[in-house]
């Protein structure tokens, strides 16, 4: 049995990772984020678009560096910052605040079909649909051109 213990365990690990990603959508809230592409990038892992979020602009009182945020949907239908703090609080998403905007690592890049990256980068006005779980993880589900 020892011989097949490893493949079984390893499948369980991969399934666990998949489940953890799905559970973000099952238990989380969906938001639409206004997004802009920047810094064209095509590494070995496949083509993806680097994204920044103009709505995620914190107040001046927030220090640069590690930040924790929660989101809410604004009147225009796009997500904006609900609460932001330099200290961790329950349900918050960890992000990094440098330059002008808050960056959420899971929303930083979006893998796209080979050859379509340039199109998104030229379109400039993009939107990202993402689910945010109550325990503070984020999963991007869709990238499209904003109308």
Partner 1 sequence: MARQTKLMEWQQAGLIDAETVDRIKAYEGHRQKKKRVPLLLIVGLTFVGLALLSFLAANWQAIPALIKIGLVLVIMVSCYVLADVSERRTIWNPVAFRILGLVAFAGALIVTVQSFHMSMQGSFIGWVVFLAALAHFFTWRHPAYAIVAFISGLNIFTGVGGFGTEYATFLDWTSIVLVVIVSLAWFYFSQSFPSLILSWLFLYLSGLELFALVSYDGVLWPIWTLFVLVPLLLVVKQDSDRHFLYHLYLIVAAINSLVYLTVRAETMDSVIPLGEAVALAVFGLAIGYLIYQKFRPLLWILPLGLFGFLWLDEQAILIAALVEIIAFVYLIEQERQGRRLTIPFVYFIAVQLTIYFIYAWDRLDMSLFFLVGALLVFLIAGVLWWIRKRREGGVPS
Which residues of the chain form contacts with partner 1 (CB under 8 A)?
Answer: 2-4, 6-7, 9-11, 13-14, 17-18, 21, 45-46, 66, 94-96, 105-106, 108-114, 139-141
Neighbours of 118 (CB within 10 A): 14
Reading the block at residue 68, the tokens are: 């924790």
Label the pairing between strands 126-132 and 109-111: unpaired
d(CA 42, CA 76): 33
Report in angstroms how near the CB of residue 139 gets to partner 1 at its nearest.
6
Neighbours of 60 (CB within 10 A): 4
Neighbours of 98 (CB within 10 A): 10
User: Nearer to partner 1 by C-beta: 18 or 145?
Assistant: 18
Reading the block at residue 26, the tokens are: 């099952």
Report in angstroms how near the CB of residue 13 gets to partner 1 at its nearest.
6
């Amino acid at each position: 049995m020892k011989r097949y213990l490893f493949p079984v365990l390893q499948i369980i690990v991969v399934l666990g990772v998949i489940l953890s990603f799905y559970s973000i959508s099952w238990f989380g809230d969906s938001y639409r984020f206004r997004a802009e592409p920047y810094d064209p990038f095509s590494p070995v892992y496949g083509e993806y678009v680097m994204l920044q979020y103009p709505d995620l602009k914190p107040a001046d009182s927030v220090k640069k560096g590690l930040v924790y945020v929660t989101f809410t949907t604004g009147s225009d239908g796009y997500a904006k910052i609900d609460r932001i703090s330099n200290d961790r609080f329950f349900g918050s998403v960890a992000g990094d605040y440098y330059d002008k905007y808050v960056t959420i690592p899971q929303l930083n890049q979006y893998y796209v079909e080979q050859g379509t990256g340039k199109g998104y980068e030229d379109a400039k006005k993009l939107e990202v649909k993402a689910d945010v779980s109550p325990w503070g993880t984020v999963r991007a589900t869709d990238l499209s051109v904003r109308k």
